[in-house]
A and B are shown apart, each in its own frame.
Chain A
Amino acid sequence: MTYAILYALCGTVLVGVGFFGVVICRHVLRKVIALNIMGAGTFLVLIALARRTPGTLPDPVPHAMVLTGIVVAVSATALALALLRRFHRETGRTELDRVVE
């Protein structure tokens, strides 16, 4: 097993941790953080799998995609936080409606 695969496996674990958090956590801020962890896992998988080239340089295309993804994730997080602040201001709550009562 190469290091690249090891990093990619770590990425899948992060995706799992994040997915669990998104669904299970009640506080919306925690959900946002969990979503970011999930995104970080995806980025790690992409970066790690780009390293499987035979030469010394990794495949630059996934790197560029991840760079784009990071910036989009930051913007989306900021928008989510703005939504959360407004939600909190309008309702005084930090949790969404319960699906299962």
Chain B
Amino acid sequence: MNESRFRQLLVVGFAALVVAIVGGLATAIVALPTEATGLAPNVEQQLGQSGAKNPVTAVLLNFRGYDTMLELTVMLLAVLGARALTRGGIGDDPYTGLRMSPVLDGFVRVIAPVMIVVAGYLLWVGGHAPGGAFQAGAVLAALGVLLHLTGVAWSRHLSESTERWLLIAGVAVFLAIGVGSMSAERRFLEYPSAWAKWLILSVETVATISIAAILLALYRSGTLRYTFQTKQDVKGTGR
């Protein structure tokens, strides 16, 4: 039997296996009860003291706040990994100083202030409707990507240590509040319900900026050239 025939057989066999797995999963889902309350009643019962009117925000930042803190930690680890692999520094962006396109340029001029306002709105509205830190952070990060594509060298004004502080700010504020709540003889990240709204809002504000910085850093670790290869190239083409 030649190699390609063997591979074909393998692919077909594996496809059959996947179909069987999907069939099994589908059967399991159909067999589930059609009505299930899950944890919705518990959330609804506690929503009043959570400091947020949007149940998803209440879960993310109050009831399961440590999940969100660990999620920010995971993002931070991803940035560290990507940085270590691409060995980029903050000044090594190949796009800085390049004019990509006049259309993009004009578009970004119009859209940039709107995006900042939208991010702020999403952050605020997260308290009582869909929205929140992650959505707002994603919008800000998208703005950062657009600015980099147009060659606006705004991040040159950020020192490397400032950028690092921005990256860890989200986790840091979570930890600070967690330790603070423990020192007030409550459990980790257990907010007093009178302060909950403002604690959540401040965590979300810092987290928004931190998430934007992290997403942007992840994006840029993909666009950065390898420093040992291209210091020369960057100077040649860009500045």
Contact = CB atoms under 8 A, between A and B. Distances in A.
Q: Is the interface of B mostly helix, strand, loop or mixed?
A: helix
A52 B29 CA distance: 12
A32 to B, nearest CB: 12
A5 interface: yes
B29 A8 contact: yes
Contacts of A13: 22
A79 B219 CA distance: 10
Contact of A49 (B32, B40, B43, B215): B32
Interface in B63-122: 64, 67-68, 71, 74-75, 77-79, 81-82, 85-86
Classify chain B's interface size. Answer: 35 or more
B37 A59 contact: yes
Nearest to A60: B55
A72 B59 contact: no
B165 interface: no
Classify chain A's interface size. Answer: 35 or more
B14 A61 contact: no
Interface of A: 1-2, 5, 8-9, 12-13, 15-16, 19-20, 23-24, 45, 49-50, 52-55, 57-65, 67-68, 70-72, 74-76, 78-79, 81-83, 85-86, 89, 100-101
11 contacts: A5-B29, A12-B29, A20-B14, A49-B36, A52-B35, A59-B36, A67-B132, A78-B219, A79-B81, A82-B82, A85-B222
Q: Which 3 A-B pairs have the closest CB atoms?
A: A59-B38, A60-B55, A75-B78
